[in-house]
Amino acid sequence: MTAARVDAMVVGAGVVGLAVARAMALAGREVVVVERHRLPGQETTSRNSGVIHSGIYYPKDGLKAKLCVRGRDLLYAFCEARDIAHSRCGKVIVAQEAQIPALKVLEQKGRANGVEDLAWLSAAQVRELEPEVRCAGGLWSPSTGVIDVHEYVTTLVADLEAHGGTVVYGAELQGVAVKPGGFEVAVTSDGSADIFECRNLVNSAGLNAANLLRQIRGYPEKGLRTAYFAKGNYFACHGVRPFRHLVYPMPSEAGLGVHATLDLDGSTRFGPDVQWIDELNYDVDATRAPSFYAAIREYWPGMPDGCLQPGYAGVRPKLVGEGAAAADFVIEGCETHGIAGLVNLLGIESPGLTSSLALAEEVASRL
């Protein structure tokens, strides 16, 4: 079997994999993306809140903090330059009386990360901004927004292909052999087996990224990781549009709390919650609706009965399991595993969408 030779291969056509491949193609490199689904962005990319985050929540000097702030600016500029639908609608994080000290800490964390436009709001100021909300105080983040994720993905693919890159859909990676000067990658697509040879390999497989490490012959056993999955259910809000901005409660251990996000047409949805699962599934658990009503009514006490309807669900790839402190992004290169030309992107959950163009910069610089 004759092997197809390319300079670089990216595994995964989610928003991060596409951004990485686009960056390499723009730099003049021959790039192939292999994607097991029939369309791009079918997993984590298309099943999140579609929020452009400002960079508030993450520990100072970590990759999430650095790449979220950088990625936010890159993403807004990209949207404006390419006419991608988005809205810099702003977000208010609300706290009840006992949570005010924690909200102050969150404000300090955001400012330390370079989020310079935060503003403290009294309860009365929050009500002026969002009359339906009841809280003891809030934090206003005007640089938070929402984006049409489908348009963004479509534009990344168009740029990649315009610069000579290719996306192979319905392609399942079967194994990777480390060879002198690169890799031999076995892929099956539409029942046929293909071999690719490449100098650089980027594992951006999202939910499958940790498991993919086991398919790389020569990858050190001590570096193998366990994949954890946190499912997030979303419920649509029917019959009423209560808010003009994003409204978030205080974050929880594994997520940002059951928050209100807006579609670009102004409709509201709530989620995600955190439901730890062992196997991937995208069924919305309708039995969780009572916990949604309880969580939302802490900041929207006037929420009418019956307005929530099951929406969709997403799954976040986690590097740690239930009860553990949140993990940072991991960009694993040769300095960690000793394999030249291999970059693994692990635990790329929120704010992965916001950080995508900055992650692409980072990977390109490492290769």
Residue 301 above 80 pLDDT? yes
| pLDDT of 248 above 60 | yes
Which band of pLDDT confidence, cut at 50, 70 and 90, is reported for residue 367?
Answer: confident
CATH, domain range 4-46+150-225+326-366: 3.50.50.60
Q: Look at 3-7, 154-158, 318-322, 354-358 and tell me which has the smallest mean pLDDT.
A: 3-7
| 319-325 CB contacts, 8 Å cutoff, 24+ apart | 319/210, 319/225, 319/228, 319/346, 319/347, 320/228, 321/226, 321/228, 321/276, 322/228, 322/254, 322/276, 323/253, 325/253
- Span 91-142+227-318: which CATH code? 3.30.9.10
Q: Which residue has the tokens 């369309």?
A: 39
Predicted local distance difference test score (pLDDT) of residue 87: 97
Integer Cα distance of 264 and 35 in angstroms: 28
Bridge partner residues of 169 (DSSP) = 35
Map residue 268 onto helix, strand or coil. Answer: strand
Report the share of the chain in percent with pLDDT over 70: 99
pLDDT tens for 181-210 read: 999 999 998 888 999 999 999 999 999 999
Return the pLDDT at 253.
Answer: 62
Q: Mean pLDDT for the chain?
A: 95
Model confidence at 255, in pLDDT bands (50, 70, 90)? Answer: confident
At a CB cut-off of 8 Å and minimum separation 6, what does 237 contact? Answer: 260, 267, 268, 269, 270, 307, 308
pLDDT digits (tens, 9 = 90+) for 80-123: 999 999 999 999 999 999 999 999 999 999 999 999 999 999 99
Domain spans in the chain, listed from the N-terminal domain onward: 4-46+150-225+326-366, 91-142+227-318
What is the pLDDT at residue 256? 81
